[in-house]
Amino acid sequence: MLDLSWMAWTWPTAGFFIFILLCIVSMGIWEKFSPGGGPRRGVFGIDTTRGDRLFISLLGSIFIFLVWLWAFSTPLWGAVMLSFIWALFVFLRV
Amino acid sequence: MAKISLQDIRHSYLSNPRLDVDFALKHIDIVFEDGGAYALLGPSGCGKTTLLGIVSGLVSPTSGRVLFDEDDVTDMDTIHRHIAQVFQFPVIYDTMTVFDNLAFPLRNRKIPETDVSSRVLEVAKMLDLEEGIHRRAASLTVDGKQKISLGRGLVREDVNVMMFDEPLTVIDQNMKWELRSKLKELHQNVRTTMIYVTHDQTEALTFADEVLAFKPVRQLPRLAFVLNMSDSVSRVSR
Amino acid sequence: MISKSVKQSAWFFVIPVVFLVAFNALIPLMTVVNYAFQETFGDNVFFWEGLTWFEQVLNSDRFHDAFLRQIMFTSIILLIEVPLGIAIALSMPRKGPWVSVCLVLMALPLLIPWNVVGAMWNIFALPDIGLLGYSLNAIGIDYNFTQQPISAWITTILMDVWHWTSLVVLLAYAGLTAIPEAYYQAAKIDGASKWAVFKWIQLPKMKRVLTIAILLRFMDSFMIYTELIVLTGGGPGNSTTLLSIDLVKLALGQFDLGPAAAMSLVYFFVVLLICWVFYTLMMKNEQQ
Ligand SMILES: Nc1ncnc2c1ncn2[C@@H]1O[C@H](COP(=O)(O)OP(=O)(O)OP(=O)(O)O)[C@@H](O)[C@H]1O
Ligand SMILES: [Mg+2]
């Protein structure tokens, strides 16, 4: 067996990757049962598919977290809320 | 407007041609009278495009002279020859709108903007391009694009000659007929010299007052490129 | 609307790439994420630290300074290399025997190992023995890149321009040669000036390759390390300590793996964001 202890896994970080993986898998399932079709033009004037929207949501959330951490430090509940609002906005309007 | 004479033109794309077969145009002597409508007819590869290039200055002949009226223009560049030429396949400026594409040849020659716009609209109307004239040219279909190419050839009024190099190849049948009659009509109205290249006989005969047919001289069936040696041009007048 | 036809067997051919990406990108990236939340003193012993390192990095002046220097460096080299690269590509012959000569000359700087580039410029610019340094001082310009931050910056930028403009040139040249002759002929008939030809034919047709060139130069300039460490070592002082150099100082110099990991993540997200924004903007006008 490979010794992967150098990767220094912890539950919270593993949880983070599992969350990303679940997002991708559920996007796949969603696409299978109700295809999202081609790209659409959103409020920013860019064409996005569902996958693009997931990417924008995640990348945007990361920056929400970073800025929150920089400005208000922990706890991060506010950033979590904002990220959800951001993701919702991206999926509905962008 | 001018009478165009090609005197003893020879052209080869090779840097030092020796044999006759090296020449794309072996020996050309033609006069295009001012205001005539000519068709150049000939098989593929016989040098029709090359001939147009020599008239427009895109190709400079290996030997021989090109005269506009009495002026020797053999060494004059394309811009100063005041000619319009439409190519076989559409060439458009993708990032411009249809309107700007059509206006381009006029704006480059510093024509006042009011004249530009009236002229462009006139041509657009003739070619049925008015709808979506302010859209990006890249969004058009291939016949739309070819119509733009054609339009850029037609917008200028001061040209010595308009040359069309198989302009309707990519355009569908019905439209072809319509556009051809429009060109014919245009010729009757403005009386600019027009040279129309095609390898379709009916097309040549419907368009032109005079058909110039390239014919290969010696037929050596084994060598396909012998067809290039169009050393005589026959005239068919109606 | 585009109807998608999915061929399942196609996935089979992607497997090697998936493995490659997993081993050289995904696993290291995951490891960096893991490190960013922990403290270690070696021997694979880790202690959970939560968000400490991120807070530390985000609030550290050292990171801010390195980041600003990086942005400045990247902007300057892009502003020089892209226009210069296009200009050189435009002046290269399109056909004839000189084409291969030019291409080889252009490719040369790209073929030189990066540490050699650094060493070459270091020696070239030394104020007492280097050709450049010595001649500048000889004509009365006070130049010493080991002492003066400004000189160090100028030398660094010159080196990067010398090393990487070729990449822009080669890409732009590839874009230029792909333009059919008919476009130039039509432009002549239409009476277009040289500038009009550039603006309406050459630039639009080069747009895609230029996008790639700019993205590559952007990302590579964010990664610049080898040449710079050999040339200036980040000095004098911290004046040319760009992000990668700072990162390595932190990770290996001080063995602060946790903070270094947090810093590299922040840095990764910034690169990702800028690339995404840039790419989206460049491609936005494409379909209309
Ligand atoms: N740029 C070029 N370089 C070398 N040879 C060329 C070039 N352009 C044309 N030729 C050759 O010159 C000959 C005449 O070509 P040209 O394009 O004038 O023929 P054409 O009558 O217009 O043919 P088509 O009906 O196919 O358009 C052909 O044998 C062609 O291969
Ligand atoms: Mg032809």
The per-residue pLDDT for range B4-31, each reduced to its tens digit, is 988 888 888 888 878 777 788 888 888 8
The two structure tokens encoding residue B7: 């005197």
- Comparing A6-10, A87-91, B119-123, C28-32, the range with the smallest average pLDDT is A6-10
With a Cβ cut-off of 6 Å, ligand 1 is lined by B 13, 24, 42, 44-50, 199, 228
pTM of the predicted structure, to 2 decimals? 0.81
CA of B47 to the centre of ligand 1 (A): 6
C100: exposed, middle or buried (Cβ count in 10 Å: 0-12, 13-18, 19+): exposed
- Ligand 1 midpoint to CA B44 (Å): 8
Residue C248, pLDDT above cutoff 60: yes
Determine the pLDDT at residue B158.
Answer: 84
Q: pLDDT confidence of C110, banded at 50, 70, 90?
A: very high
pLDDT for B219: 43
Closest ligand relative to B87 C-alpha: 2
pLDDT higher for B56 or C237?
B56
Q: Is the pLDDT assigned to residue B237 strictly greater than 70?
A: no
Interface ipTM above 0.85: yes
pLDDT bin (cut points 50, 70, 90) of residue C4 is low
In chain B, what are the domain boundaries?
Answer: 4-237
For residues B27 and B215, the answer to whether their CB atoms sit within 8 Å is no
Which residue bears the tokens 């000519």?
Answer: B38
Residue B70, CA distances (Å) to A81, B4, B6, B9, B107 in order: 83, 9, 11, 16, 29
The minimal CB distance from C31 to the residues A7, A69, A73 is found for: A7
Angle B142-154/B173-190 helices, nearest 10 degrees? Answer: 10
Give residues with Cβ within 8 angstroms of C172, minimum separation 6. C85, C86, C89, C90, C206, C209, C210, C213
| Pairing of the two strands B193-198 and B37-41 | parallel
Which residues of chain A have a CB within 8 Å of the CB of C27?
Answer: 7
Flag if A73 and C55 touch (Cβ within 8 Å): yes
Strands B4-11 and A47-48: unpaired
DSSP C42: S
Given phi > 0 = left and psi -120 to 50 = alpha, else beta, which region is C144? beta
If contacts are CB pairs under 8 Å, which of residues 6-65 in chain B contact chain C? 56-58
CB contact under 8 Å between C44 and A6, yes or no, is: yes
Give residue B216's pLDDT.
Answer: 56
Q: Ion ligand 2 — residues with CB under 5 Å?
A: B 49
Q: Read off the pLDDT band of C287 (50, 70, 90).
A: low
Q: A67: nearest CA in chain C?
A: C58
Residue nearest to atom 17 of ligand 1 (CA): B49
Averaged pLDDT score across all residues of chain C? 87
Just give the CATH number of C60-287: 1.10.3720.10
How many helical (H) and strand (E) elements, i.e. helices and strands, does chain C have? 14, 2
**Residue B164: nearest ligand to its CA?**
2
| Position C2 pLDDT exceeds 70 | no
DSSP states of A21-59 as a string? HHHHHHHHHHHHHS---S-EE-TTS-EE-HHHHHHHHHH
Nearest to A12 among C31, C37, C40 (CB): C37
Shortest distance, CA A4 to any CA of chain C (angstroms): 10
> What pLDDT does B103 receive?
93
Task: Find all residues with CB under 8 Å of C17, minimum gap 6, and list them.
Answer: none
Domain ranges across chain C: 60-287
Given a cut of 90, whether residue C22 has pLDDT beyond it is no
For residues B24 and B11, what is the distance between their CA atoms, to the nearest angstrom? 6
DSSP letters, chain B, are ---EEEEEEEE-SSSS--SGGG-SEEEEEEEE-TT-EEEEE--TTSSHHHHHHHHHTSS--SEEEEEETTEE-TT--HHHH-EEEE-SS----TTSBHHHHHHHHHHTTT--HHHHHHHHHHHHHHTT--TTTTSBGGGS-HHHHHHHHHHHHHS-SS-SEEEEESTTTTS-HHHHHHHHHHHHHHHHHH--EEEEEES-HHHHHHH-SEEEEEE-SS--TT-GGGGG---EEEEEE-
Atom of ligand 1 nearest to the CA of C181: 1
Is B225 in the C-facing interface, judged by CB distances under 8 Å? no
pLDDT of residue B221: 36
Report the C-alpha gap between B61 and B74 in whole angstroms: 8
Confirm if C277 and A44 have CB atoms less than 8 A apart. Answer: no
With contact defined as beta carbons under 8 Å apart, do A40 and A25 qualify?
Answer: no
What separation in Å is there between the alpha carbon of B4 and the centre of ligand 1? 22
> pLDDT tens-digit profile of B116-137?
999 999 999 888 888 888 888 8
Which of C278, C275, C284 lies closest to A46, judged by CA? Answer: C284
Which residues from chain B sit within 8 angstroms of residue C191, using beta carbons?
A: 79, 105, 108-109
The structural domains of chain A, with segments of one domain joined by +, span 48-94
Q: Is C51–A12 a contact, with Cβ atoms under 8 angstroms apart?
A: no
A55 pLDDT band (50/70/90 cuts)?
very high
Residue C6 pLDDT grade (very low, low, confident, very high; cuts 50, 70, 90) = low
What span, in angstroms and rounded, lies between the C-alpha atoms of B159 and C284?
39
Among A10, A12, A38, the residue with its CB nearest the CB of C2 is A38
3-class DSSP assignment, residue C38: strand
Segment C114-154, tens digit of pLDDT: 889 999 999 898 888 888 888 888 888 888 888 888 889 99
**Is the Cα dihedral C228, C233, C238, C244 positive or negative?**
positive
Query: Is pLDDT above 90 for A60?
Result: yes
- Among A5, A13, A73, select the one facing C33 at the smallest CB separation: A13
Per-residue pLDDT averaged across B51-61, rounded? Answer: 91
More confident call, C4 vs C259:
C259
Q: Is C48 helix (H, G, I), strand (E, B) or coil?
A: strand
pLDDT(B227) > 60? no
DSSP class of A5: G
- Return the pLDDT at B170: 81
Beta-bridge mates of residue B210: B38, B237
| More reliable by pLDDT, B234 or C51 | C51
Handedness of CA B90, B91, B94, B97 (dihedral sign): negative
Residues B47-63: what's their mean pLDDT? Answer: 90
CA distances, C85 to each of C71, C91, C162, C207, C214 (Å): 20, 10, 11, 14, 11
- As a whole number, mean pLDDT of residues B51-62 equals 91
C192 and B104 within 8 Å at the Cβ level: the answer is: yes
* Nearest alpha carbon, ligand 1 atom 30: B45
Confidence of residue A94 (pLDDT cuts 50, 70, 90): confident
CB C73 within 8 A of CB C156: yes
Q: Give residue-wise pLDDT tens across range C170-223.
A: 999 999 999 999 999 999 999 999 999 999 999 999 988 998 899 899 988 988
Q: State the pLDDT at residue B217.
A: 47
Chain C CA closest to residue B89: C182
Assign domain B4-237 to a CATH class: alpha beta
Q: Separation of B25 CA from ligand 1 center, angstroms?
A: 10
C55 contacts on A by Cβ (under 8 Å)? 69-70, 73-74
Extract the tokens encoding B154.
């037609």
Return the ligand number nearest the Cα of B47. Answer: 1
Interface present between B and A (3 or more CB pairs within 8 Å):
no
